[in-house]
Amino acid sequence: MHRYLRHLVFLAAAPWCAAAPGAQPVSFRTEIAPLLQRRCASCHGEESAKGGYRLDSFEQLQKTGDSGAPPFVSGKAAESELFKLLIEEEPDARMPQKADALPAGEIALIERWLNAGAVYDGGDPAQPLAELVRETFLRDAPSRYARPMPITALAFSGDAKRLAVSGYREVTIWNPAEGTLARRLGGMPERISALAWHPKRNLIAIAGGTPGQWGTVALVDAAAGYKFRFLCDLPDIALSVAFSRDGGTLVAGCSDRTMRLFDTSTGKQKRVLRAHSDWVQAVAFNPGGTLLVSASRDRTARLFDTATWEIESSYQGHDTPLTAAAFSPDGSRIFTTARGRGHVWHPEKANKRGELEDLGGDVRQLATGAFGVAAGCADGAVRIYQGDGRLPWLTLTGHHEAVQSLAVAPHGAWLASGSADGEVIVWSLDCATTLTRFIAVPK
């Protein structure tokens, strides 16, 4: 049976994905654009236009690729190259390549849009698809929270008088010494994965997005009324951010397997590193700013020379996905964690020096200070290690649920930890006691 006829038979047997009489028309802006951005943009954008075809804007979507066939014929899905490639049976010819075929519901959605005339409701057809998609994912933060959100990211300001805390579609700014709310920054990504405060300027870097659909890296200028700008749009969530020692470069680790380098003055993307084959879950600079380590779900860590951005070494000692990475205070060791296991290794030689014992489960984040390296643990404790690891020299207990984020104040005397139940604790490291603790829920 012809492949398209087989497709029609399947759809006829699946009424849940067919258009019902009187159904609302398919919106390119809110339905088709997010689907194309999520499924196709990585291979058919400005940076990579496989087959000579781009779909990073509606204007580009209409142009032919190397095949010369029109991407779509208005009102005729069966004659549209875009649709035919989605239902192609040969894996090497089907789109997306090197990935599973699109779900039947998504194929049916594109078919309905094409058969209904491929109507465009997105405004300027030259507007990048990523920007169009961004607008559909940004929403106001809730005025009140039904329950506390897990604290997935924290960052101290340079003077340690402010603490940025992740929220739902927002970042909140708190007085860490008093545990009082100072400001709410709404209109942010649905989930905030990571925060970093510029070492010299009042800039806050934000990584986040909507998992599996859209992601971004943003900069918020706290010195200019907390104005923010988005630096990129991604097909999946951004996971980690770190400023270089001089603050001139911002590095982001992303779910699309890339590391992206931005100029913090202009906000322009300077470079894209493709050194991993899976999510880049953590990035961290050494104290001198000459090296950067990345930790990936592909079970490897990479070490980069920041002068050339060439790979200096790779650590492959873990047998499960990596979750966090940090340099020791003197830069002579790197700490990495993966599914409840922690390793300590030499940067250039990439040889294992020791292990982190008594971790208390998975570790979501590591943080470095003069005290050593702190690990936020699944059992609610914060454990601090020195040297080649082994047993922690200090364990801070007080959280009731898993610790998901950490931040060290620039003066080194405070450590903030955030847990899955929405609580933030600011620890005084001089005496290993609680300075403040609060539930980070705006009221």
The CATH architecture that domain 154-439 belongs to is 7 Propeller (2.130)
Percent above pLDDT 70 for the chain? 94
CB contact at 8 A, 294 and 279: no
Cα 299 to the center of its chain, rounded Å: 17
pLDDT at 23: 61
Residue 13 has pLDDT above 50, yes or no: no
| Integer CA distances (angstroms), 219 to 87, 230, 434, in order | 41, 7, 31
Give residue-wise pLDDT tens across range 345-381. 999 999 999 999 999 899 999 999 999 999 999 999 9
Q: State mean pLDDT over 136-162.
A: 94
Residue 188: pLDDT band (50, 70, 90) is very high
Residue 6: pLDDT band (50, 70, 90) is very low
CA atoms in the 13 A half-sphere facing the CB of 263:
5
Number of Cβ within a 10 Å radius of residue 346 = 14
Q: State mean pLDDT over 17-24.
A: 50
Comparing 194 with 235, which gets the higher pLDDT?
A: 194
Q: State mean pLDDT over 250-274.
A: 96
Residue 95: pLDDT band (50, 70, 90) is confident
Residue 4: pLDDT band (50, 70, 90) is very low
Give residue-wise pLDDT tens across range 213-244. 889 999 999 888 888 899 998 888 999 999 99
Average pLDDT, the chain: 89
Residue 2 has pLDDT above 50, yes or no: no
Comparing 20 with 193, which gets the higher pLDDT?
A: 193
**Domain regions of the chain by residue span:** 3-137, 154-439
Residue 16 has pLDDT above 70, yes or no: no
Q: Which of 398, 354, 355, 353 lies closest to 377, judged by CA?
A: 398
Give residue-wise pLDDT tens across range 106-143. 999 999 999 999 899 888 888 888 778 787 888 899 99
